[in-house]
């Protein structure tokens, strides 16, 4: 099986998840409909004021985060290759009355479909990088979409997470390469699903930084955080901030990265400047 076939199979796997996720406790759709936001404080602090900014959310699932940015005044476009996800995102936008554009496309095709060099902000968050067979090409796509001075914000599960088992023993190599095809019958939201196969690709922190730098982006911040969005191991405890931690913070659980396009005229004009710098933890 080649990577194109894997991507197609993954797309079907994501179609399968949308219905289950819409009703899940994890996504708390009702809280969002009641006026809430799905964004975490450190995401909001990282980007600063987004009102009036053109924001592109890559691999946006059914648009909860995309619409949360819209609720903050951003002019949003969400992209996902799952037709079910995009249809659900459009329905949700209509229901809550938020302006948003949702486009069904493979992330690798986005720079050919959307407006080049026009986005102030590109966002890719939580469970996106492992679905990418080619990180360098993905970074080049992002670089083509950002206006000079625009920023990419990545928030992602730290690759250390995928190394350890429930007892925090290292169970695989950080440096493994190539696609992993796994049989699955449930989603991370807890719901059971018909048995199917999903393919993921491993990546390292160095691989991410090198891909972004290779695409000409300037890395302004790379932060590693000892918190997670959900309880991945029984030992994790929930903090007052709604995030989960391992006792003693032994390994990083999330990472965030801010990278800026420094194309012609781009230095100094970005979203995070003038008040958007973040303090976290």
Ligand X SMILES: C[S@@+](CC[C@H](N)C(=O)[O-])C[C@H]1O[C@@H](n2cnc3c(N)ncnc32)[C@H](O)[C@@H]1O
From residue 107 to residue 126, the character string flagging contacts with ligand X as x (rule: CB under 6 A) and all else as - is x-----------------xx
Tokens of 265: 């005229």
Segment lying near ligand X (by CB under 6 A), choices 78-86, 92-100, 176-184, 211-219: 78-86
Evaluated on CA atoms 188, 189, 194, 198, the torsion sign reads negative
Tokens of 228: 């997670």
Using CB under 6 A, which of 102, 131, 153, 157 touches ligand X?
131
> Given phi > 0 = left and psi -120 to 50 = alpha, else beta, which region is 265?
left
Closest CB 167 distance from ligand X, rounded Å: 26
271 three-state secondary structure: coil
Residue nearest to ligand X (CB): 127
Q: What is residue 159's DSSP assignment?
A: G
Using CB under 6 A, which of 45, 106, 117, 223 touches ligand X?
106
Q: Which of 182, 146, 104, 134 is nearest to 262 (CA)?
A: 146
Q: Could you say whether residue 138 binds ligand X (CB under 6 A)?
A: no
Evaluated on CA atoms 160, 163, 168, 169, the torsion sign reads negative
Q: Could you say whether residue 75 binds ligand X (CB under 6 A)?
A: no
Using CB under 6 A, which of 7, 72, 205, 236 touches ligand X?
7
User: With b meaning 16 or more CB within 10 Å and e meaning fewer, what string describes 191-225?
Assistant: eeeeeeebbbbbbebebbbebbeebbbeebbebeb
Window 15 to 74, contacts with ligand X (CB under 6 A): 59, 61, 64-65
Q: Could you say whether residue 10 binds ligand X (CB under 6 A)?
A: yes
Closest CB 274 distance from ligand X, rounded Å: 27
17 vs 187: CA distance, rounded Å: 7
Segment lying near ligand X (by CB under 6 A), choices 80-88, 93-101, 238-246, 259-267: 80-88
Using CB under 6 A, which of 29, 56, 67, 85 touches ligand X?
85
Which positions touch ligand X (CB under 6 A)?
7, 10, 14, 59, 61, 64-65, 80-82, 85, 106-107, 125-128, 131
């Amino acid at each position: 099986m080649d990577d194109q076939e894997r991507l197609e199979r993954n797309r079907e796997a994501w179609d399968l998840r949308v219905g289950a996720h819409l009703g899940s406790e994890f996504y708390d759709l009702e809280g969002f409909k009641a006026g809430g936001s799905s964004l975490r404080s450190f995401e909001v602090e990282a980007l600063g004021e987004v009102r009036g900014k053109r924001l592109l959310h890559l691999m946006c699932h059914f648009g909860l985060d995309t619409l949360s940015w819209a609720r903050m005044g951003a002019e949003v476009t969400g992209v996902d290759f799952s037709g079910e996800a995009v249809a659900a995102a459009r329905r949700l936008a209509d229901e809550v009355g938020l302006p948003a554009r949702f486009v069904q496309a493979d992330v690798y095709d986005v720079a050919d479909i959307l407006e080049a060099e026009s986005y102030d902000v590109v966002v890719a968050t939580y469970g996106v990088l492992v679905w990418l067979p080619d990180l360098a090409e993905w970074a080049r796509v992002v670089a083509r979409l950002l206006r000079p001075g625009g920023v990419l914000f990545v928030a992602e599960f730290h690759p250390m997470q995928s190394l350890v088992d429930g007892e925090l023993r290292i169970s695989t190599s950080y440096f493994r390469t190539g696609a992993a095809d796994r049989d699955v019958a449930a989603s991370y939201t807890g719901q059971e699903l018909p048995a199917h196969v999903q393919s993921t690709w491993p990546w390292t922190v160095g691989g991410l930084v090198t891909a972004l730098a290779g695409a000409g982006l300037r890395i302004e911040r790379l932060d590693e955080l000892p918190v997670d969005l959900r309880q991945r191991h029984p030992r994790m405890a929930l903090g007052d901030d709604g995030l989960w931690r391992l006792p003693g913070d032994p390994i990083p659980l999330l990472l965030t990265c801010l990278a800026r396009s420094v194309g012609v005229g781009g230095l100094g004009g970005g979203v995070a400047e003038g008040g958007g710098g973040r303090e976290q933890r």
